[in-house]
Amino acid sequence: MHRQKQHSMADIKLRRLVDLNQRLREDLDRPRVRVSEASNRVDKISNI
């Protein structure tokens, strides 16, 4: 029984790490905007 509980806990920890890893990969795949480009966009919007 004790060994089964340890195995179950290990599975839960692994699943959490796999889920976190997937979310981090998705975050890295998200398109980025350079600060200078974002600043230019803000300037254009505020000058309208």
pLDDT one-digit tens code per residue, 29-45: 999 999 999 999 998 89
| Model pLDDT, residue 3 | 78
Alpha carbon distances (Å) from 2 to 9, 16, 24, 32, 47: 11, 21, 33, 47, 68
Note the pTM of the prediction, 2 decimals: 0.58
| Model pLDDT, residue 2 | 74
Hey, what amino acid is at 21? N
Dump pLDDT digits (tens) for 3-23. Answer: 788 889 999 999 999 999 999
| Model pLDDT, residue 1 | 60
Indicate the SS3 state at residue 32: coil
% pLDDT > 90, the chain: 71
Indicate the SS3 state at residue 37: helix
